[in-house]
Amino acid sequence: MIKNGIKIIKISSADIIDFQLHNFLKDKNSIEIILSTGMSNLKEITETVKLYKRKNKLKKLYLLQCISNYPAKITNQNLNVIPMFKKNFNLSPGFSDHTIGYFASTLAVALGAKIIEKHFTLDKSLKGPDHKASMNPREFGFFVKKIRETEKILGSDKKFCVDEELEMKRISRKSIIAKKLINKGQKLSINNITCKRPGTGILAKNYFKVIGRKTKKKILKDQMILSKDLFL
């Protein structure tokens, strides 16, 4: 396979303890390895990963959380293993999904899975161990759509006000207003100012900053107080 230019090799869960295979592959610095971890425990995974990292020649090694049954129970997926893989091994995690449907995979993506494996068949009634747990072409198209939607929903890890919030921000945030009539030259105090919508004046976060400042003009009850209305 490697002589034929294969760049990525997927190793099945059953072969995670096949050290003869891993010993051969660990020196192949032109390939990437995707390793499924079904039927294994953390000690076995650690031993196999160490074998690859000892040479440190691989372009990339991926670990897929996997439950080896066809179909696998949704309650046995233990998807919290995915972020643990990333933290413990400093490797890109993924998920080999043998459940029915797409929900487990979308959750896996939300937890950081960079690779999703899902079995595919042209006929779910065919003989064999995993056809009934596989997706037909129509189902697979829907599956990919849901994965892409999940990626869009996850979006960025940077927190900011997005464009669609700008008008709501203007309307729903609060500004400082007069609680009652405030005469020219009078100081602002907790007794004569409060905060109400919209957020187009002096924002409510500045409430305590304006306490004690004098007004340049008379301000009516419920009138918004603006910076130009106050002395520095």
Q: What is the pLDDT of residues 83-116, one digit of tens each?
A: 999 999 999 999 999 999 999 999 999 999 999 9
Position 125 scores a pLDDT of 92
Position 212 scores a pLDDT of 98
Closest CA to 70 of 157, 137, 131: 131
| Tokens representing residue 57 in the block | 């020649």
- From the number of C-beta atoms within 10 Å of its C-beta (0-12, 13-18, 19+), residue 140 rates as middle
Contact 204, 195 (CB under 8 A): yes
Q: Let me know the angle formed at the C-alpha of 39 by 46 and 140, rounded to the nearest 5 degrees.
A: 110
* pLDDT tens sequence across 205-226: 999 999 999 999 999 999 999 9
Average pLDDT of span 172-191: 98
Residues in contact with 196: Cβ distance below 8 Å, sequence separation at least 6, in sequence order? 174, 175, 177, 222
Position 129 scores a pLDDT of 83
Closest CA to 122 of 107, 106, 110, 134: 134
* pLDDT tens sequence across 130-165: 898 899 999 999 999 999 999 999 999 999 999 999
Position 133 scores a pLDDT of 85
Residues in contact with 55: Cβ distance below 8 Å, sequence separation at least 6, in sequence order? 26, 27
- Give the long-range contacts of residues 73-80, CB within 8 A, separation 24 or more: 73/99, 74/99, 74/100, 74/103, 74/104, 77/104, 79/104, 79/107, 79/108, 79/111, 80/111
Position 192 scores a pLDDT of 98
* 39 φ/ψ sector (left φ>0, alpha ψ -120 to 50, else beta): left
Q: Let me know the angle formed at the C-alpha of 42 by 39 and 45, rounded to the nearest 5 degrees.
A: 75
Position 228 scores a pLDDT of 97
- Give the long-range contacts of residues 42-46, CB within 8 A, separation 24 or more: 42/88, 44/16, 44/17, 45/16, 45/89, 46/89
Average pLDDT of span 178-206: 98
Average pLDDT of every residue of the chain: 95
Position 27 confidence tier, pLDDT thresholds 50, 70, 90: confident
